[in-house]
Structures are given as C-alpha cells and as structure tokens.
Structure 1
Amino acid sequence: MTYTLENTTRWVTVGGHKLRYHEAGAGAPLVLLHGSGAGVSGWANFGGNLEVLAQHFRCLVLDQPGFGESGRPEVYEQNYLRIASDAVIGMLDELGIEKAHLLGNSMGGAVATMTALDHPGRADKLVLMAPGGVGVNILGPEPSEGIRRLMQFNVDPTEQNALGFLRSMVFNEATLTPELIETRLQAASDPKAIAAIQDAYATFYNPKFAEPLPLWARLKGLRHEVLMLWGRDDRVTPVEGALFPARQLPNADLRTFARCGHWVQIERKDAFERAVIDFLQHGL
C-alpha cells in the first residue's frame, strides 16, 4: 500500500484540543514523535519511513501540540515537554492502547524519555534518535550550531534563517531536495507555526516552568530497553552528547551513523529502518 499524508491522517481530541496523527500498519503500537524546528510535523519527520515500518508495527505519527495541524493551549502554563508528554498519554488513552513503543527524534526523544519515566507501564521499548535533554555536551559549544540557528529563526522567522536551520540538520546538503525545502519553508512561514515554536521554546527558558530535575539527571531510573541512534556529524545535538546517557541508562545500546547529521531517518533511511525493526522485534 502507498501511504500518503491524506490517507493516513486521523484526529483525536486530548484535553479539549484536536491533535492530528497519521496511522499506518498493524501489530505492536509504535508512537513516532517529531523534533522541533522550522516547518516541522510528524509527517515531515517520518512520512518517508511508514512504507517500511508499517509492515511490522501499527505506526502512530503524532503532530505534537501546536505543531503541524495539531491544536494547542492558547497559553502554555508548564514546560512544553510535559504538555507534549501528556498529549502522548492522552492519545493512547483515547485509542485504547495500554502500552506502546516510543520513537522520538530530538525534542521528540525528550518527550519519549519523559513519558517513559513518568508512566513506565505505558511504554515498551524506546528508540531515541539524537534526543534533546538527554545528552550532555562537555566539549562543544552550548547551545550547538543547530540550536543557535533555530533560535535565530525564532527571533527573526525569515526564509533565509529557516534555510540556514535546515542546512545545519544534514551532513549532505543534497539531502535537502527542492521539494523538501519548499515544503518546509511553506510550513515554516505559517504565523501559527511560528508562534507555536516560539511559545514552546519560551517554556524551556522560563525558570517558572523548570522541572525539579532535568531529564539527564533522571536517566538511571529509566529501566526500559533503549536504542540510541546518533548521526556522527550531528550539529544540533552533537554525538559527544551520547556518551553520558550511554553510561547512565542501565539497558541501552548506542549506534552511530557515518555520513549523517541530525536526521538519521532521512540521511541513513534504510539503516535506520533496519535498526528500529530489529531492536523492537528482538530487543538488545
């Protein structure tokens, strides 16, 4: 079957807000959580992987609150990661799913980690792809080049800044096809999308919304099996940040990918899909 944005689109209402998700395949539920960034959505991150992954899993690709076509609270009154994590649990509740694998890219990796820590019985295995909030950079600059470019876009959401952010996401700029660039720039220019990402990031830097402990300080309490996937040339969450969680997580493997930036699922698509299927079906 050919999966498209249109024929996979579903809707669920959580906390009074309509959330879009894409559903494909059958089998063990697998929730896929996108990262942050200019023009991001669940489909933009994972639409190209559904044809393969849906042969093995019931894939649920969520537009997190405020991103893609999902609604959101008008004012955020807590850390955005917690808002997004609550949305994941709410979606599972509405769909009658007791437990699911969680796969998160970047910010989505942080959301998957928080969800598994706070609701351990609802998460099965975790795939964390260059997850935010979990790694600790000890050598490179903080924030990283990619995060600086994203913050530049948040302050001045121009096409030039959006394109600069996209270029920092990949090892090989040929990955950024004209179609991909056009789609992302069009989505990034939507005033609602701009406001959503600005508001989400504002919660990360607001002391009032700080968690009692950062995610990286809670990792030893995550008992689930975890596969971490990291591009060797990631300029958003540099690969050095993988070393701390690789040591702290009690049941985790780490795999790095050559010729790859922040988008493992795109730049190393086939290897990514093989790694995910093998891990989720057979474990560590």
Structure 2
Amino acid sequence: MTLSVENTTRWVTVDGHRLRYHEAGTGAPLVLLHGSGAGVSGWANFGNNLEVLSQHFRCLVLDLPGFGASGRPEVYERNYLRIAADAVLGLLDELGIEKAHLLGNSMGGTVATLLALDHAARVDRLVLMAPGGVGVNILGPEPSEGISRLMEFNANPTDEKAMGFLRAMVSNPATLTEELVATRLKAAADPKAQAALRDAYATFYNPKLAEPLPLWARLKQLTGEVLILWGRDDRVTPVEGSLFAARQLPNADLRIFSRCGHWVMVERKDAFERSVIDFLNNGL
C-alpha cells in the first residue's frame, strides 16, 4: 500500500490540544520533527522519506503545535521550543513509548536537542539535520539569508515572499518542483498558519522567555550518540556551525552533503535515508 497523508494520519490530544501525526512501519520508534517556515508540516518535510524509513522503524511524524493540522495554545506564554518539546513528550506518553529515536530538521533539531538534554532517559539515538541554535555562525551574516527571507515572509506573507524563502532552502533550484511549490504556497497562504509562525518566532526574540543558557552552551552535557547531517550549501544554518556542534558533542559524527542546501532529506534523499538507517540500526 502506498503511504499517503490520509492513510497515515493519526490524532492525539496533549495538554488539551489536538495534534496530528503520521504513523507508518513497525520496529523501534522514530519521531521525526519538522522545521519552521512557510507552509511547513510534518508531511511536507518527511512525507517522501516515509516509504523507506518505515521499512525499518515505527515512524511517527508529528505536526508540532500550531503547524500543519495541529492545534495550539491561543497565547504562547513560554518559549515555543519548550511548548514543542512538551508536545513530543506528550505524544510518547499517550502512545506508551518509553524511549524513542529522534530525528529533527532545523527547528525540529533544536527541539530534539532540548529533549535529549532535559529528558535523556526518553531519547535513544539522535539525528540532527542542520539544527537551529546548535551551531555558531562565525563567518556568514547574521541573520542568515534563509532566516532573513523567512522574516520577510512573516512581515508580508505573499506568494513572492514565500518563494524567496523556498529558494533559500535548496542548492539546486530544480529541486523546487511545480508540485512542491504549489503545495507549500497553498499551505503558506493559510492565515492561521501565518499567525502560528509569527507567534512562535516572537517567543524566540522575547527576552522574558529566553532560556538561561543558549543551547550551544549545553552541548557537552549531551552524552548520547548523535549523527549530525548538514548541507554544504546551506543558506539557513551555514555549514560552519556543524563543525562547532561536532566538536562540542562528546559522541557525535558529522556528515556534510555536497550539492545540498538546508533540505538534506529532499536534495540528497537516498543518501540521507541510508545514513539515518545505518546510524539508528548500528550506532556510531
């Protein structure tokens, strides 16, 4: 049976909010966490990888609160990363899963790192794909081109601004197929999705909601096995950040993909899937 949005969709209620996730496969549980951005959802990030990964793992692809079809608090009273991390823990609790592998892309990688630091007993192996907040950008401009394009979209959510953001995600513009663009633009045009994105990012820049320490300053505390995946041509989280993360994490391997931007799972799909399967099955 071909996997689809419809036949993989499941629902769970966490902290009074209905969250959508997609489930496929059997075996060790693997929670996949999407990034942020225009038109994002769990399926938009990982739907094309699910067919392969679900042959090896019980894949759970979550729409984080406010993204995709998931509900959200009316007001974010905490840093959004904390809200998202609690949603993942709630999913595991509701499904009776004591321990799971985590795979996070961009903001999802940030959430996965936070979980691994604060709830190490619940996290098995960790895959971080160009995670935000984990590397340190010392060579490129700040904010990066990709984040600048996202901020422009947040301020003026038009199709043109959304396309500017999408182009910054990839190394090869041909990656942006008509189907991918149409799907993302349709999702990005939803006013509720736009508000959720703006509100989440507002918490990142609110000093009252800041973490006591930046995530990168805590990396040496994360002693579990970690695979770091990064695109050489990433214009959202520049690749030099990967070297900092790899030096700080005690048990981490780093793989840098040529001909690849921020979306490793899209531009280097086969190599991404092979890397994830080998690491989660065999470790470092």
- Give the TM bin, normalised by the shorter chain: over 0.9
Aligned position for 1:118: 118
**Counterparts in 2 of 1:22-37, with a 5 A limit?**
22-37=22-37
Pair 1:66 & 2:66 matched = yes
C-alpha distance in 1 between matches for 2:248 and 2:2: 40
Aligned position for 2:210: 210
Q: What is the aligned-residue identity percentage?
A: 81
- For the residue of structure 1 that corresponds to 2:254, the secondary structure is strand
1:68-98: CA deviations, max 9, x gaps?
Answer: 0000000000100000000000000000000
Rounded to whole Å, the distance in 2 between the matches of 1:214 and 1:31 is 24
Pairs within 5 Å for 1:72-83: 72-83=72-83
Deviation at 1:43, TM superposition (A): 0.0
Q: Distance in 2 between matches of 1:73 and 1:47?
A: 26
1:245 partner letter = A
CA distance in 2, matches of 1:270, 1:82: 32
Q: Within 1, Cα distance between the matches of 2:62 and 2:134?
A: 21
| Counterpart for residue 261 of structure 1 | 261
Instruction: Quote the Cα distance in structure 1 between the aligned partners of 2:79 and 2:215.
Output: 12
The answer for the alignment partner of 1:103 in structure 2 is 103
Which residue number in structure 2 is paired with residue 196 of structure 1? 196
1:183 maps to which residue? Answer: 183
Q: Secondary structure at the match of 1:98?
A: coil
Specify every segment of 5 or more residues in structure 1 that has no aligned partner in the other structure, as ranges: none
Aligned pair count reads: 284
Q: Helix, strand or coil: the match of 2:183?
A: helix
SS in 1 for 2:37: coil
The 2-side partners of 1:127 and 1:172 are apart by 24
Residues in 1 aligned to 2:17 and 2:269: alpha-carbon distance in whole angstroms: 32
**CA shift for structure 1 position 243:** 1.2
Residue of structure 2 in register with 1:172 after alignment: 172
- The letter of the residue matching 1:84 is A
Distance 2:182 2:49 in 1: 20
TM-score, with structure 1 as normaliser: 1.00
Partner of 2:144: 144
Separation in 1, partners of 2:264, 2:2: 22
Aligned residue identity for 2:172 = N
Does residue 237 (structure 1) correspond to residue 231 (structure 2)? The answer is: no
Partners of 2:5 and 2:172 in 1: CA distance: 26
Aligned residue identity for 1:243? L
Superposed structure 1 runs of 4+ greater than 2 Å apart: none
For 1:5, the equivalent position in structure 2 comes to 5
CA distance in 1, matches of 2:247, 2:40: 31
Partner Cα separation in structure 1 for residue 166 and residue 232 of structure 2: 17
Instruction: Provide the rounded CA distance (Å) in 2 between the counterparts of 1:142 and 1:84.
Output: 25
SS of the residue aligned with 2:78?
A: coil
What is the CA–CA distance in structure 2 between the aligned matches of 1:57 and 1:142, rounded to whole Å?
A: 37
After superposition, the C-alpha distances for 1:126-161 in whole angstroms (9 at most, x for unaligned) are 000000010100111111000000000001101100
AA in 2 matched with 1:181: V
Determine the C-alpha separation between the residues in 1 that align with 2:184 and 2:224.
34
Letter in 2 for 1:263: W
How far apart, in 2, do the equivalents of 1:54 and 1:242 lie?
27
CA distance in 1, matches of 2:223, 2:56: 24
Residue 6 of structure 1 aligns with an amino acid whose one-letter code is E
Structure 1 counterpart of 2:156, which letter? D
- 1:218-246: CA deviations, max 9, x gaps? 00000110000000000000101111111
Give 5+ residue unaligned stretches, structure 2: none
Q: TM-score, normalised to structure 2's length?
A: 1.00
Structure 2: distance between partners of 1:40 and 1:255 = 25
RMSD after superposition:
0.4
1:51 correspondence with 2:51: yes
SS at match of 1:271: helix
